[in-house]
C-alpha cells in the first residue's frame, strides 16, 4: 500500500481548499494531481507531506496512520517549483545534505551521491554551484537531493512549472524514465493536462477542492465522468442538444448540453441523411493539423480539427459548403457553465 487519503478536509477561514477527498495511490506508482489553479492540489500535497494538518480525515502512508506524524517522521522527498538549492553548496554537497544531517557514514554518502549524479544524468557537474546550472539541471539536482534519503514517497509540486516549454517536455520524458528505474511512490502536481497524461500511470482530476475523477490517462480522456473533466482534458464544443448536428445524426439526450471534441467532427463534401449542412467560416493551419470553424445552417458555430491528410483529401476552402456529423459526443446530467 502506498498512500491513502481518507475523507480529508482542510479549510482556510470559511474557504474549503480540500473538501472530503478520498484517494488511494498504489505503492510504486506515479500519480498526477491535475486541476486548474486554486483547485486544492498543493494543499492536498502539503497535507500528505505533513506541512498542513487536516481539519478532519486521515492520511495513511505505507499502511500506517500518519495523520499526526511530523514532516520528518514521514520520510518524504519534496520538490517544489522554486526549490532553491543551497547557493553556497556545490551540486554534490546539495545532494549529500540530507544524508549529512542524518549522520550517514562518509563512505556511504560518497557512493550514494555518485550514484544519484548518474541517475539524474549530471555526472560531470558535481563540483558546480547552482548558479552555474540551467533551470532544468537545477530541478534535476533538487530531485536527486530529495531521493538521497531514500524516501518512501516523493512529492513534486509543479517541479517544471518555471521552465520553458522545450525543457519541460524533455524533463517530463526524463522523469518518466527515472521513475521506471527507481519506482518510488510519486505524486506529481500539475495544471497542464498534457503533462499529466504523458507522465503518469493515473490521473486525479481536481476541481474546487474535490476529486472529479481518478483514472488512467486513456480512461480520463475516453470516458470522462463529468462535464468538468471532459472540458478540462482537451478542447471541446459545448452545444445545445437541439442543434441540427445532433438531431440529424440521431444522437439523443435529455440533458441540455452536448460535448463534442473538435477531432470528433466528421466532415463530408456531399450530404447524406445523417449530416447537417454547414459553411467553413475560418481555416487555421496548426502544423500537422488544420482547425476549422464551421457555421451550421442553424447558426451554431463548431470547431473541428482535421489531420493534414484528410484536409488535403477534402480540398477545403474558406466559405465552402460542407456536411457534418458527430463521430462521438457526450452529455452529462449536471449543467456546465
Minimum distance from CB of 257 to ligand ADP (Å)?
Answer: 26
C-alpha distances out from residue 304 to 182, 191, 267, 280, Å: 42, 25, 9, 10
Minimum distance from CB of 17 to Mg ion (Å)?
Answer: 10
Q: Which of 97, 109, 94, 188 is nearest to 141 (CA)?
A: 94
> Coil, strand or helix: which one is 253?
coil
Scanning 34-42, 229-237, 259-267, 296-304 for contacts with Mg ion by CB under 5 A, the matching segment is: 34-42
Minimum distance from CB of 299 to ligand ADP (Å)?
Answer: 37
Instruction: Please identify, using beta-carbon distances, which residue of 42 and 186 lies nearer to ligand ADP.
Output: 42
56-61 and 153-157 strand pairing = unpaired
Instruction: Please identify, using beta-carbon distances, which residue of 233 and 324 lies nearer to ligand ADP.
Output: 233
DSSP, res 330: B
200 binds Mg ion, rule: CB under 5 A:
no
Minimum distance from CB of 38 to ligand ADP (Å)?
Answer: 4
d(CA 69, CA 65): 8
Instruction: Please identify, using beta-carbon distances, which residue of 6 and 19 lies nearer to ligand ADP.
Output: 19
| H-helix or E-strand spanning residue 165 | helix 165-182
- Altogether, the residues listed in the chain come to a count of 337
Instruction: Please identify, using beta-carbon distances, which residue of 29 and 42 lies nearer to Mg ion.
Output: 42
Cell of 28: 510504486
Cell of 131: 548558479
Instruction: Please identify, using beta-carbon distances, which residue of 42 and 305 lies nearer to Mg ion.
Output: 42
Minimum distance from CB of 317 to Mg ion (Å)?
Answer: 45
Instruction: Please identify, using beta-carbon distances, which residue of 42 and 186 lies nearer to Mg ion.
Output: 42
Instruction: Please identify, using beta-carbon distances, which residue of 4 and 44 lies nearer to Mg ion.
Output: 44
Minimum distance from CB of 204 to ligand ADP (Å)?
Answer: 12
Minimum distance from CB of 19 to ligand ADP (Å)?
Answer: 10
Q: Which of 207, 211, 226 is nearest to 20 (CA)?
A: 211
Binding to Mg ion in span 38-97, by CB under 5 A: 42
Choose among ligand ADP, Mg ion, none what residue 47 binds, the Cβ cut-off being 5 to 8 Å by kind. Answer: none
The footprint of ligand ADP (CB under 6 A) covers 12, 17, 35, 37-43
Choose among ligand ADP, Mg ion, none what residue 35 binds, the Cβ cut-off being 5 to 8 Å by kind. Answer: ligand ADP
Q: Which residue is nearest to Mg ion (CB)?
A: 42
301-307 and 76-79 strand pairing = unpaired
Q: Which residues have CB under 8 Å from 195's CB, separation 6+? A: 32, 160, 168, 172
| Alpha helix (H) residue ranges in 262-330 | 308-314
Q: Write phi, then psi, for 194 (nearest 5 degrees).
A: -65, -40
Residues that bind Mg ion (CB under 5 A): 42
Amino acid at each position: 500500500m502506498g498512500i491513502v487519503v481518507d475523507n480529508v478536509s482542510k479549510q482556510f477561514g470559511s474557504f474549503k481548499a480540500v473538501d472530503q477527498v478520498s484517494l488511494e495511490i498504489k505503492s510504486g506508482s506515479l500519480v498526477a494531481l491535475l486541476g486548474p489553479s486554486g483547485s486544492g492540489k498543493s494543499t492536498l500535497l502539503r497535507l500528505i507531506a505533513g506541512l498542513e494538518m487536516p481539519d478532519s480525515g486521515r492520511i495513511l502512508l505505507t499502511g500506517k496512520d500518519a495523520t499526526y506524524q511530523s514532516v520528518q517522521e514521514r520520510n518524504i522527498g519534496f520538490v517544489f517549483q522554486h526549490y532553491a538549492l543551497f547557493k553556497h553548496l556545490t551540486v554534490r554537497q546539495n545532494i549529500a545534505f540530507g544524508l549529512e544531517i542524518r549522520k550517514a557514514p562518509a563512505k556511504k554518502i560518497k557512493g550514494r551521491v555518485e550514484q544519484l549524479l548518474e541517475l539524474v544524468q549530471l555526472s560531470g557537474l558535481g563540483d558546480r554551484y547552482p548558479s552555474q546550472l540551467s533551470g532544468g539541471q537545477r530541478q534535476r539536482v533538487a530531485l536527486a537531493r530529495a531521493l538521497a534519503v531514500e524516501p518512501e514517497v516523493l512529492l513534486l509540486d509543479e517541479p517544471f512549472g518555471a521552465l520553458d516549454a522545450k525543457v519541460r517536455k524533455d524533463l517530463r520524458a526524463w522523469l518518466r524514465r527515472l521513475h521506471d528505474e527507481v519506482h518510488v511512490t510519486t505524486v506529481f502536481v500539475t495544471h497542464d493536462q498534457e503533462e499529466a497524461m504523458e507522465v503518469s500511470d493515473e490521473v486525479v482530476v481536481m476541481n474546487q477542492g474535490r476529486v472529479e475523477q481518478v483514472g488512467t490517462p486513456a480512461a480520463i480522456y475516453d470516458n470522462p465522468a463529468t462535464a468538468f473533466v471532459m472540458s478540462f482534458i482537451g478542447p471541446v464544443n459545448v452545444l445545445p442538444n437541439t442543434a441540427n448536428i445532433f438531431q440529424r445524426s440521431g444522437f439523443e439526450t435529455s440533458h441540455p448540453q452536448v460535448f463534442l471534441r473538435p477531432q470528433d467532427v466528421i466532415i463530408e463534401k456531399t450530404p447524406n441523411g445523417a449530416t447537417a449542412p454547414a459553411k467553413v467560416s475560418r481555416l487555421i493551419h496548426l502544423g500537422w493539423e488544420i482547425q476549422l470553424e464551421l457555421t451550421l445552417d442553424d447558426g451554431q458555430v463548431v470547431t473541428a480539427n482535421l489531420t493534414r491528410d484528410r484536409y488535403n483529401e477534402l480540398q477545403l476552402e474558406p466559405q465552402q459548403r460542407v456536411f457534418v456529423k458527430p463521430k462521438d459526443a457526450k452529455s452529462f446530467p449536471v449543467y456546465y457553465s
